[in-house]
Chain A
Amino acid sequence: MNVKELRQLFPILDQQINGKPLVYLDSAATSQKPLSVIEAIDNYYRQYNSNVHRGVHTLGTKATDAYEGAREKVRRFIGAASTEEIIFTRGTTTAINLVAASYGRANVREGDEIVITYMEHHSNIIPWQQVAKQTGATLKYIPLQPDGTIRLEDVEQTVTPNTKIVAVMHVSNVLGTINPVKEIAQIAHKNGAVVVVDGAQSTPHMKVDVQDIDCDFYAFSGHKMCGPTGIGVLYGKKRLLEQMEPVEFGGEMIDFVGLYESTWKELPWKFEGGTPIIAGAIGLGAAIDFLEQVGLDHIAEHEHRLAQYALEQLATIDGLTIYGPKARAGLVTFNIDGVHPHDVATVLDAEGIAVRAGHHCAQPLMKWLNVTATARASFYLYNTEEEIDALVSALKKTKEYFSYVF
């Protein structure tokens, strides 16, 4: 399918914003949804809405099959060994918090270390700050190179035999850096630590194989990969998940409930207390079908081409600073001298172009970059080179506009 055909599957893209065709360059915040995903959710609510794992009736069976069918799609999509290792959560944040609250608190002691990087999203910083505070462990940061990459020597230096957890993002939501998570996992394992990978920005855009990476935990969100909001996934190695205690207790997750003691269901359900996110999981399943149909390799190649084109074109604007390495995922973060990124985003919006402006939930990284905020254009399978041309042209106008009003 070419990009023009793909775009027709996304009804939202066909509209005008402020009198201009919408140019949506904010997929790293959330992606748009193809018709097949919208219809899968609609179909569930219209045709077989029912609770899962309890109804003897026909609709209940149908809903359960669809929900568990989505789990199998996720398993296959990320190359996990078993559906017991796939836990549905509300999103990446909830998934990482689950690991921190369950595995972290049970296995980290005073004097231990948790290692993260300067480029992490807040959702992969704060849960570990909290575990460190509660246990008396030390939180350590792997430093960054000037281009926003991580050197394995620095990982080797930072991770020690006292390290219990290494938590790192696969792809940076600001720099676009693709981190060597497989090598980082090897270093973590050599030191007896587990590795937690934040896959929010990788899973939508490239083929992920959790067994090849050999990570212990992998977290991602449905809404950044053409799926709905409110659904995410925690992958965990069965051996570790089996030892872990649930963090939410109630319906759905129990085996036997007595007056003073209860026991839990087997994996993965012991981590899914309460009525699960049924429509969300079904929507995520449809999103996976869609992405596989388009082809992850095709998506990665398309975005790589767009990112390289954007880098080339943006470099023609004087006074524009680009952050992050040349080899990168499909996003470009930048600033224009003398124009605050909010102002950039407002001017672009007036031209129909949606970008993100702010700290991107990465305040420690902003501090490292020595900026308070940046603007970010992020690409997905439905974006085109013409849209990047529109961005570049609007940025040139932004510069002119602000030099005029000054």
Chain B
Amino acid sequence: MSFNSHLDTLYRQVIMDHYKNPRNRGVLEGEHVDINMNNPTCGDRIHLTLKVEDGKIVDAKFEGEGCSISMSSASMMTEAIKGKTIEEALKLSTIFSDMMQGKDYDDSIDLGDIEALQGVSKFPARIKCATLAWKAMEKGLHEQQG
């Protein structure tokens, strides 16, 4: 059942799946990069923990509160960056940012589930929801790089 096809471009099944069953939810123990970030305009918040070894993200977990878009994006982001180098993760973040702004983005990398968030670019008021977790990740990795 669908009453509004415009909405269906935003609320894709895979997004709802990540919202309902978030991957990598929690907080890492031991030595890790710890980032808290809020979206002050709406109250969404994310607490992201990353384990980085030899320039590689070996584990990532998040917890937080927010809408379906912000939480599903966080879930997808943590899945996507696990096993990636810092450079690869930052590159992915740039691609995601381009995608959100409706720009042409590098499609040589398989984005997997993240592709489903493309529809957010048609809802300008929700772009900040989708980018929150990615901004947190960028901040953490930049701190790690010094």
What distance in Å separates the Cβ of A335 from its nearest Cβ neighbour in chain B? 12
Task: Summarize A's interface: helix, strand, loop or mixed.
Answer: helix
Which chain A residue lies CB-closest to B12? A405
**Contact pick for A346, options B7, B44, B70, CB 8 Å:** B7
Shortest C-beta distance, A399 to chain B (Å), equals 12
Q: In angstroms, how far is the closest chain B Cβ from the Cβ of A20?
A: 10
* Residues 66-89 of B at the A interface (beta carbon under 8 Å): 66-70
Q: How far is the CB of B20 from chain A (nearest CB, A)?
A: 6
Interfacial chain B residues near A313, Cβ < 8 Å:
none
Assembled-state Cα–Cα distance A18/B4 (Å):
10
In angstroms, Cα B13 to Cα A404, docked, is 10
* Residues from chain B with Cβ under 8 Å of A358 in the complex: 41-43
Which one of B20, B67, B125 lies within 8 Å of A340 (CB-CB)?
Answer: B67
Instruction: Decide: B16 and A400 in contact? CB cutoff 8 A.
Output: no
Q: Is the C-beta of B6 less than 8 angstroms from some C-beta in chain A? A: yes
Closest A residue to B129 by beta carbon equals: A342
The answer to whether A346 touches B10, judged by C-beta atoms less than 8 angstroms apart, is: yes
User: Is A359 an interface residue when CB atoms closer than 8 A count as contact?
Assistant: yes
Give the interface size class of chain A: 20 to 34
Residues from chain A with Cβ under 8 Å of B3 in the complex? 397, 400-401
Flag if A372 contacts B4 (CB, 8 Å).
no
Is B61 interfacial (CB 8 A cutoff)? no
- Check: B109 CB closer than 8 A to any chain A CB: no
Whether A373 contacts B42 by the Cβ 8 Å rule is yes
Query: Is the CB–CB distance between A340 and B68 below 8 Å?
Result: yes
Contacts known (A342-B129, A366-B43, A372-B43); A401 close to B2, Cβ less than 8 A: yes
Interface size on B, residues (CB 8 A): 26
Q: Tell me, rounded to whole Å, the shortest Cβ–Cβ distance linking A363 to chain B.
A: 7
B45 within 8 Å of A (CB atoms):
yes
Residues of A with C-beta under 8 A to B105: none
B135 interfacial by beta-carbon distance below 8 Å: no
Q: Whose C-beta in chain A lies nearest to the C-beta of B13?
A: A405
Q: Are B43 and A401 in contact (CB-based, < 8 A)? A: no
A350 interface residue (CB < 8 Å to B) = yes
- A346 to B6 CA separation, bound complex (whole angstroms): 11
Knowing A340-B66, A346-B123, A373-B43 are in contact, say whether A405-B6 is a contact too (CB < 8 A).
no
- Knowing A340-B66, A340-B67, A342-B126, the reply to whether A359 touches B43 (Cβ < 8 A) is yes
- Give the complex CA separation of A358 and B42 in angstroms: 4
B42 cross-chain contacts in A, Cβ below 8 A:
342, 357-359, 373
B69 and A342 contacting across the interface, CB-CB below 8 Å: yes
6 more A-B residue pairs beyond the given contacts A342-B69, A346-B126, A405-B11, with a C-beta to C-beta distance below 8 A? A342-B68, A342-B129, A343-B67, A346-B123, A359-B43, A406-B16
B residues within 8 Å of A by Cβ? 1-4, 6-7, 10-11, 13, 16, 20, 41-45, 65-70, 123, 125-126, 129
> Can you identify 7 A-B contacts, CB atoms within 8 angstroms?
A343-B69, A350-B6, A358-B41, A373-B43, A397-B4, A405-B11, A406-B20
Which 10 pairs of residues, A with B, have the shortest CB-CB distance?
A: A342-B67, A340-B67, A359-B43, A358-B42, A405-B16, A372-B65, A373-B43, A372-B43, A350-B4, A350-B7
